[in-house]
Amino acid sequence: MIDVTIENFEPEVMAASQDQPVLVDFWAPWCGPCKALGPILEKLETDYGGAFKLVKINSDEEQQLAGAFGIRSIPTVVLLKNGQPVDGFMGALPAGKVREFLDKHIEAQALEEEDPLAVEEPAAADPASRLETLQHVVATDPANDDARFEYVKALLLAGRKDDARRAFEPVADKTMAVRKFDALARWFGVLDFAGQGATLADADAKIAANKRDFQARFDRARLLLAQQQWTAAMDELLEILMRDKAWSEDLARKTYIAILDLIEPPKAKVADGQIPPDDPTVATYRRRLSSVVLS
C-alpha cells in the first residue's frame, strides 16, 4: 500500500496503471468507515498476490486529486486501468463484496518467490556479471519479461546494439501491452534517428530561432538520449511539456516516462517488511513531471 500525493500521483497511479490495475482508496483520518475498509483492502492486495496495486489518497490533504476524481463522500474506491477509471464503489463494503468487485476485473495471482533479478547493491553491481546472469535467466525462462527488459537494457548500455535487437525481437510485438518494452522500442528508435546524421547544433540553431519549435526540442532530447544523457533529455522534454502538454499526441510525456523506466535501477535486496529505497534521480524527475502535468 502506498500513500499518494500530487507529487507522486503520475508515476504511482497513472503510469503504474499501464502495467497493472491500480486500486485507489480515498480516505481521511477522521473517517470511521475508512478505518474499517483500509485493512480489508490491504489484506486483499496480499491475497491477490500482486495482481493489483493498492494506493491511498488522503482526500483532506489532496483536495486537488479528490476533486479531479469527483469524490463527494469517503471512503470511495476507484479502479484504474491504462490510465483510466474503469469502476469503483463507495462505502465500507465487507470483504466478500470487495472481492466480488475485484473479481470482475482482476485475476488473483500466486505470490512470487524471491526475485532472481534483485541485487545487493545495484549501483555497485559488476556489469559483466550482471549481463551474464541476465542472459542465463532469459535463456532458461524466455517468458520472463522483467529479465528480458533488464537484459536488453544491459546490452544497450554496453553498446551492443545488434545483440540487443536480437534479444528484443521475440517481444517486439508486445510494446503496446508492456510499458518497459515500449521504452526499449523508443530507445531503439532514438538510436536509429541519431544514426541519420542529425546533430545537437542543428537542433540548437532551430530552437534559438524559435523557442516553440517543439520538433527541434524533441529532436534535441532524442539526441541526448542516444548519448545516454538521461537527465538532460528529460529537461528538454519538460520544456515542451511546460508549453504544450499534449504536443504530438502526448509524445513528450510518453518519451519522458520511457526514460524513467530505462534509468530506474534494479530493485535492491532488503530485509523482510522493508521497501527498497527510491533512486533519488528517478524520484526527483517523477516529481517534476507530476508538477508540470498536473499544473
Q: Which residues are catalytic?
A: 31, 34
| DSSP sequence for 17-83 | GGTS-EEEEEE-TT-HHHHHHHHHHHHHHHHTTTSSEEEEEETTT-HHHHHHTT--SSSEEEEEETT
CA 145, 82, 154: angle at the middle one, nearest 5? Answer: 30
Sheet containing 2-3, strands listed edge to edge, beginning at the edge strand earlier in sequence: 2-3, 53-58, 22-27, 76-81, 84-90
246, with CB counted inside 10 A (0-12, 13-18, 19+), is exposed
Listed residue (146, 153, 217, 154) closest to 178, CA to CA:
146
What residues have CB less than 8 Å from 7, skipping those under 6 apart?
Answer: 286, 287, 290, 291
Distances (CA, A) of 3 to 7, 9, 13, 37, 167: 11, 9, 11, 15, 37
Inter-residue contact 228 to 157 (CB < 8 Å): yes
